[in-house]
Amino acid sequence: MTSPADLPPTEAHLKAETVPLGELLGDLTRDVSTLMRQEVELAKAELKESATKAGKGAGMLAGAAWAGHLAVVFLSLALWWALGQLVGLGWSAVIVAVIWGIVAAVLASIGRKELKTINGMPRTAETVKEIPPTFKPNTEETR
């Protein structure tokens, strides 16, 4: 079995022994800079791919919403016509409009209640409390 001392020195070992420290640090800085640029480019590519997928998904949801809207319109027209056979077209239009008015009022009420429960930015408030006193401005020194 061979020990690490028995192995011939690698190119990195030879370079470390012969090249000045300043040049080694320059190489290190350049390599880290290159690595950071490559990581940023990779992140950009991943973000672009995610944004493309999100855009396609949002487009499909918008199409589904439009199709749902049209379905509701035509179902409302069918209800209006069916009720018109029983009570007349004028009254059936009023009945369908009242039904949609009730739906709108209920949705508005629920939406308003949901909006009132929003507390602002709770995560920000929690993280600000966690800031160490060293980083907080000292009000006595600023006076």
Task: Judge whether 122 lies within some domain.
Answer: yes
26-48, pLDDT tens digit by residue? Answer: 888 998 899 999 999 998 989 98
127-137, pLDDT tens digit by residue? Answer: 656 656 655 55
Task: Judge whether 80 lies within some domain.
Answer: yes
Q: What's the pTM value of the predicted model, to 2 decimals?
A: 0.49
Task: Judge whether 38 lies within some domain.
Answer: yes
Task: Judge whether 108 lies within some domain.
Answer: yes
DSSP assignments along 36-70, one per residue:
HHHHHHHHHHHHHHHHHHHHHHHHHHHHHHHHHHH
Banded pLDDT at 103 (limits 50, 70, 90): very high
pLDDT of residue 129: 65
Number of domains in the chain: 1
Give the whole-angstrom CA distance, residue 70 versus residue 3.
78
Task: Judge whether 114 lies within some domain.
Answer: yes
Task: Judge whether 43 lies within some domain.
Answer: yes
Domain that holds residue 18: 11-133
Task: Judge whether 79 lies within some domain.
Answer: yes
